[in-house]
Structures are given as C-alpha cells and as structure tokens.
Structure 1
Amino acid sequence: MKIICVPLTLNAMRLLDTNDRPDSLLEIIHLADEEYKKFLISGAVETINKTLGKMINDYEDEIINTNEDLSKALAIFKDHLTPKNSSVMKN
C-alpha cells in the first residue's frame, strides 16, 4: 500500500514533518498495490519527476512545496487521466 498526502494549507505544509498536524488539514489517499501500479503506468509520476526535478519513487518521499509546482503537478495528473486509471487518479 502507498499513501499520498497533500497538505491543504500552508500551516499544514509546515507541520507535515511533525505529528502535530490535524488530519483535517490533509488530503490523504491510500492506494492498494494494484492501484499504485496503474498510477505508475499512467506516466504521471515520471512526468512530474522530469518537469519538477523531483525523485518520486518506491524508495523516497518527496515534497512538492510551492503553489506553482502544485499547479503544474495537478495539470500533469489531469493530462495523464484516462478511463483505465480514472478511479485511481480521482481517489
């Protein structure tokens, strides 16, 4: 299982590395192994890594921490959304 965690406020982003943030300030998506495979196959992660200079993979945590980069990541997700992976990407 993989977890994608998105802070919903700047304060939540600052508190992300602590245990002092309420879950109500986070959007948390749990992906089963099969869902995660579909997510990887979509190409969104590879495109985000190349576009934003990130290293999102099975072994590393990564942070996208500017509004500009978050907007770019959202656009990339939308570009890679297909009927086959839409349930994963809209989770």
Structure 2
Amino acid sequence: LNELGYTNAYIFSVEGWPHLDTVTPQLKAKGIKNVTLMPLMMVAGDHANNDMAGDEPDSFKSQLEAEGFKVSTYIHGLGENAAVQKLFVERANESWDALEAK
C-alpha cells in the first residue's frame, strides 16, 4: 500500500501479525486522530462485525477508542466490490481452463 502512495493505510490481523498493538503506536506517531476500520476479507462476517467493529471491550474499535481515536467502521467485504468479483471470476476461469487442458 505504501508503494501505491497510500501512506495512511495500515493492515493488521485478527489472529496473527501484525496485530493492532503493532499498528496503534504507528498511528499515534503520525498524529492520526480518526480511524476507519475496514475488513480485508471476501465477506464481512463474524470477524468484521464482532472482532473488528463490535461494542465489546476487546473489539478493535473499542480498543482504539480507549486509546483516544475517533473510530468509524465500513462493514463490507471485498466480495461486494465489482473489480474484485471480476478478478475472482477470471482466476476461477483460468483454473478451470488449466484443468481441462490436462
């Protein structure tokens, strides 16, 4: 994302690395006050609705709010994006064609 010029975009993982604890100090160091959480998932399901944007104290939204950030959420999976849908179908067709060629 940085190479594409998105210098204020950060990615962290629900169950892996980098984690929110890795990203939060970077946000603070840049003086960022407003955060929009968006799932990098095909479908915005349980992880997006609960782990990311839920009202429980351990959700990413709640953790960031506790650190003083104003947090908004965008609960839409990548599968809703027409360009991603097109890419998915293209790759599926390429895979099918490769199987038929054998």
Instruction: Please give the TM-score of this superposition, normalised by the length of structure 1.
Output: 0.28
> Higher relative CO (CA 8 A, sep ≥ 6), structure 1 or 2?
1
